[in-house]
Amino acid sequence: MENNPYLETMMKCSRCGACQAKCPVYAELKMEPYVCRGKLELLDSLKEGKVKWNDRMADIFSTCLLCGACANNCNNGVKGDKIILSARQELADEHGVGFAKKSIFHLLLKYPGRLNFAGKCAYIYERGGLRTLAHKTKVLSLLPGSMGEMEKMLPDFNSRSFRKKVGNKVSPKGGEPKLRVAYFTGCMTNLVNERIGQAIIDILVANRVEVLLPEQYCCGVPAWASGDYHTARELAAKNVTNFRNLPVDYIITDCASCYSTWLDYPELLQDDSLKELTAKFIDINRFLVDVLDIHFDLPDDGKEPVKVTYHDSCHLKRTERGREAPRELLRRLAPRYEFVEMDLADRCCGSAGSFNITHYDLSQKVGAHKLDSMLRSGATILTAACPSCLMQLSHILREHKELSARHTVELAYECFKEEEERKAARMTQVRLAQEKRAQAQKNGPAHVKKSVAKKAEAKRKAEVKKYGLIEAKKRSKSR
């Protein structure tokens, strides 16, 4: 651990147990090695040569959400999450990351074309009948451990890559844009959540923002969190190359994990000059609220607003305005939605990237607390600003059909669409009125007289039908 840049903070640990009180993993396992304090004891023993990296040590250091609760609540400033990341790097350097992860990191993440193909295969599995067949025949129950349950976590994949679908640039029609942004979609929006990506582009373009979608790679966080720093740095370097010289005002993303990882690129690549680039990065919620200052002019239709609450993604809440901006956006969706706060909103949901795959049962126990919090809040929609969290939250809510998990931008898009439809309807009414007036002016007084005569004749016929011919004539004369 001599090369660990956070070794100095590790030595500040007083073993007080503050991390234990906040650790979601310890809350479930109640075992000292799985809390930050216990891991630091083991690292001290490793440094002194009392223990060596082995399977047991690998299990302990992989059983961490990297949620940062320990670091956030440490009075001595010990960066527990960073220390554990560095320990994983040392473990990976000595023993590797395992065949499955190595195959994904080296054969898929480094090659966007292959990753897109994998997404297409997943789409075919889901929509081509194979998934239905697997569930009907209960073949998934034959899989070892919890793999059958894990399969239910698979999201609905896009039929094709989102970036391939929309192209490299989307510009507002007519005139110059007032802002230009680059959009780092991340893997999830590109392969799974195209509705989120399309919602963002539609809102931005309507507000005269030009959107660039350059070639991009995975942000690298899956490899980084697993200790494979070599792959993480390679992916980061490629992204920096593709984004560094773009003529944009901001770089936006809808993924909290991607956002946090990009902000750490200067540290990962050991290049402080990248801070100028990462300073352009901004979460989509903050961009909509602080930069565009977006509001929705929606009338009160008398209906009860839908109650929504918000889950703080671990990566986003530690960034500038990461807690406030998403909540402010949700408050601006009134009167269609009513934002209500839930307790434990900033507690990790148990996703932690691939943690809910490698530690499925434990992740579900951690996530159950989030479900309990939502039920107590009275909300029917649980929002988040991280696609990875949303996948976990949707899985947690699967037995409650009346509840759903959605990205904050999706709700904003619904209000945006309603506002646009109302604007279009008003414009149509104005246009029809203008055309009617123009037609009347074109036809002149003769047309007006003809119209009056036509109405009078219609009234006379109606009276004849109602009173008879003689009585109708009498009524006509009396007028």
Q: What strand order describes the sheet that includes 250-253?
A: 169-170, 209-212, 179-183, 250-253, 281-283
Q: Within a 13 Å sphere around the CA of 100, how many CA atoms are in the beta-carbon half?
A: 5
Beta strands in 121-226 (DSSP E): 169-170, 179-183, 209-212
Q: What is the pLDDT along the chain (479 residues), one digit of tens a residue?
A: 555 667 778 889 999 999 999 999 999 999 999 999 999 999 999 989 999 999 999 999 999 999 999 999 999 999 999 999 999 999 999 999 999 899 999 999 999 999 999 999 999 999 998 988 988 888 888 777 677 777 888 899 999 999 999 999 999 998 899 999 999 999 999 999 999 999 999 999 999 999 999 999 999 999 999 999 999 999 999 999 999 999 999 999 999 999 999 999 999 999 999 999 999 999 999 999 999 999 999 999 899 999 999 999 999 999 999 999 999 999 999 999 999 999 999 999 999 988 998 999 999 999 999 999 999 999 999 999 999 999 999 999 999 999 999 999 999 999 999 999 999 999 999 899 888 888 877 765 555 556 666 777 777 676 666 666 555 555 565 65
Only one residue has tokens 């961490």, namely: 64
Report the b/e string of 386-403 with b at 16+ CB within 10 A. Answer: bbbbbbbbbbbbeeeeeb
Q: Name the DSSP letter for residue 109.
A: I
Please, what are the domains in the chain? 7-96 (1.10.1060.10), 112-291 (1.20.1050)
Q: What are the C-alpha distances in Å from 224 to residues 69, 239, 304, 367?
A: 19, 15, 45, 23
DSSP, collapsed to helix, strand or coil, labels residue 298 as coil
Cβ contacts of residue 384 below 8 Å, gap of 6+? Answer: 310, 311, 313, 349, 390, 393, 405, 407, 408
